[in-house]
Amino acid sequence: EVQLVESGGGLVQRGGSLRLSCAASGFTFRDYGMKWVRQAPGKGLEWVSVISGSGNNTYYTDSVKGRFIISRDNSKNTLYLQLNSLRAEDTAVYFCAKCLYSGSDLPGYYYYAMDVWGQGTTVTVSS
Amino acid sequence: QSALTQPASVSGSPGQSITISCTGTNSDIGGFNLISWYQQHPGKAPKLMIYEGSKRPSGVSNRFSGSKSGNTASLTISGLQAEDEADYYCYSYAGTGTSNYVFGTGTKVTVL
């Protein structure tokens, strides 16, 4: 069974840091791009970051550039998101998701569809 | 990059068909056929319903269909059922500019 399980969320003060993890199973992890998507309380979905299968290519939404770092360890089938300089507006449920198309270093436009999602982990930034 | 525009809510009776629109620009929907749609029930993770504008993943009911015209993508649900009541989001590739991808604002579907 293809599965993604996030962990690492919690309550953190403004300006603090957290590292989220996403453990993958049931598919060849290194062959797929992986994405983080977040959802603030009562709000819509927002893409945060995506990383290619090899880890060589990364993309970020403007609001997190310079503060968040996406990475992966293909030997551990695990995706990470390092959250630094956290702000109140980063409060959200963070989902990891597997991109649909296989290929270790696809062009960025291939990462527009995500077919497997984790259950999410909640990050709360207190002021 | 602004969010794609969706109606806040759409409703229909069981058995009816409804259509959710998703309006963008030439820089996203109009420029590429790289559109996906997601269903999200309360407290749950999103589920991929449509990709490449009109293709259904394995296991998704053929009551769901997607299309695109110009800068607007659409999701149609035919034979509406109670379990279709959920939030729906469109998502598009938006090029290599400042924001590579963009979600729609989301639509709450209510089955009357």
Q: pLDDT in tens for each of the 112 residues of chain B?
A: 789 999 999 999 999 999 999 999 998 999 989 999 999 999 999 999 999 999 999 999 999 999 999 999 999 999 999 999 999 999 999 988 777 999 999 999 999 9
pLDDT over threshold 80, residue A49: yes
Six token digits for residue B16: 């009816």
pLDDT given at position B99: 76
Band of pLDDT at residue A4, cut at 50, 70 and 90:
very high
Which residues are within 8 A (CB) of A90 and not within 5 positions of it... i.e. 6 or more apart?
A38, A64, A83, A123, A125
Task: Tell me the β-bridge partners of A127.
Answer: none
Task: Provide the shortest C-alpha distance from residue B88 to chain A (in Å).
Answer: 10
Q: Do residues B110 and B19 make contact, with C-beta atoms less than 8 angstroms apart?
A: no
- Amino acid A119 reads Q
Q: DSSP 3-state assignment of A76?
A: coil
Chain A interface residues (partner B, CB cutoff 8 A):
37, 44-47, 50, 59, 61-62, 95, 97, 100, 108-109, 111-115, 117-120
Angle at A76 between CA A1 and CA A21, to 5 degrees: 80
pLDDT at B42: 97
Q: Which residues of B touch A119 (CB under 8 A)?
A: 45
Interface residues on B facing A, Cβ-Cβ cutoff 8 A: 1, 3, 32, 34-36, 38, 40, 45-48, 51-52, 57, 89, 91-93, 96, 98-106
DSSP for B51-94 reads: BTTTBPPTTS-TTEEEEEETTEEEEEE-S--GGG-EEEEEEEE-
- For the beta sheet containing B72-77, the strands, ordered from the edge strand earlier in sequence to the opposite edge, are B18-23, B72-77, B64-69
Which string of DSSP letters, residue by residue, matches A12-55? EETT--EEEEEEEESS-GGGEEEEEEEE-TT--EEEEEEE-TTS
CB contact under 8 A, B46 and A44: no
Q: Is residue A24 scored above 90 in pLDDT?
A: yes
